[in-house]
Amino acid sequence: MPSFHEIVGQRRPAQILQSILRTQEVPNALLFSGSEGIGKRSMAMIFVQALLCQNVVHAANGINPCGLCRSCKKINSGNHPEFFILEPPSDPPTANIKIDQIRAMQEGMVFEPLETAWKVFVIVSAEKMTVEAQNSLLKTLEEPPQYVVMILIASKPSLLLPTILSRCQQVSFSPLSFSQVESILMERRGWTAGDARLAAAITSGKLGEALSLEVDQVRAMEEELNLLVKDETLSHYDTLFGVAVKFSSDAATLAKALYYLSAYFRDLLVLLAVEDRLQLDRSYLVFSWRMEELLRWSYRMDVRDVTKFLADITTIQQSLVRNINRQLTLETLLMQMRDKLLQVVS
């Protein structure tokens, strides 16, 4: 049986939606916001199912769809006559939701539902609507047919017109903690704690991306990112600059590199915090199989150095939204690491 609470880390949105179902005070427009891959769409599907279900289940954890009635089954198989999903075209990945798509949806709203009390429209990646599309949708939001429920799903709601935002009841999804991502990966993919922790680190804790990867891919990605901290990279200027160019090609790549470095330095902090590094239980480390490499770093830096690097990385991460010179920023950081790595150890 589908349940609102099967979606990890999203109790608050689940409670809001279940209370809407209980009171049957259903808003004409809802906006699900929160980062990519944290369960907005899955929760929307459960909500739609529950809204149209012929036999909802009242349990201790609130109202849930039965998953078995004709309506629930039709939603699962994607052919419920009163339920529509609107998505941006899949190719190219940057494609927008155009005004024609919104108009087609609006035409579908004209007729009252036959089998149910509601007619439900879900707009996935709503922030990809063009301004014309948004303006067209606004007309519906201003005067929606009373039987219409629209659910806008957006990971970047700031790209929506303020007039759209103000007409939707917002349901915000919380970011998942690192350990929540880990436990979901272990549970759904059957990965070991080590693999799950690595995948969470490599994908900056983005569950959707982590779930789309295989363990081999995660390892390969880590192998690439490890170039950032390798002796061979840092000890030669030309390789160092080459790596800086490679990992600053776009904001997303740089964000990944910074996330990797911060996870790596955090491992270093663990090593520096224990009395006997050689005896450390490796399961405390994200990059446990890099023990030798980490040890080498740990003899060249103290806790203050590492903390300083972590603070610098955080500053760069925060400045990424501005238009910084990515290559120069990464070069500078790698040069500072180089200075630490190559210093004469007394």
- Contact residues toward Zn ion (CB under 5 A) are 53, 65-66, 69, 72
Q: In the bound complex, what is the minimum distance in angstroms from residue 75's beta carbon to Zn ion?
A: 8
Which residue, 65 or 205, has its beta carbon nearer to Zn ion? 65
Minimum Å gap between C-beta 216 and Zn ion is 40
The alpha carbon of residue 341 and the mean position of all alpha carbons in its chain are separated, in whole angstroms, by 34
Nearer to Zn ion, 50 or 176 (CB): 50
Q: Which residues of 86-106 are buried (b: 16+ CB within 10 A; e: fewer)?
A: bbbeeeeeeebbbbebbeebe
Q: Are 63 and 96 in contact (CB under 8 A)?
A: no
Cα(140)–Cα(86) distance, integer angstroms: 15
Task: Give least dist CB 69 to Zn ion, A.
Answer: 3
Please name the residues in contact with 164: beta carbons below 8 A apart, sequence gap of 6 or more.
134, 137, 138, 141, 152
| CB nearer Zn ion, residue 72 or residue 227 | 72
Residue position matching structure tokens 């609507």: 129
* Cβ at position 59, least distance to Zn ion in Å: 14
Nearer to Zn ion, 28 or 49 (CB): 49
Q: Which is nearer to Zn ion, 76 or 343 (CB)?
A: 76
Angle between helix axes 40-52 and 11-23 (nearest 10 degrees) is 20
Cβ nearer to Zn ion, comparing 51 with 234: 51
308 contacts 336 by C-beta, under 8 angstroms: no
Rounded to 10 degrees, the C-alpha dihedral 267/326/339/240 comes to: 100
Minimum distance between the CB of residue 112 and Zn ion, rounded to whole angstroms?
21
Q: Side chain identity at 288, as an amino acid letter?
A: S
Q: How near is the Cβ of 22 to Zn ion at its closest, in Å? A: 16
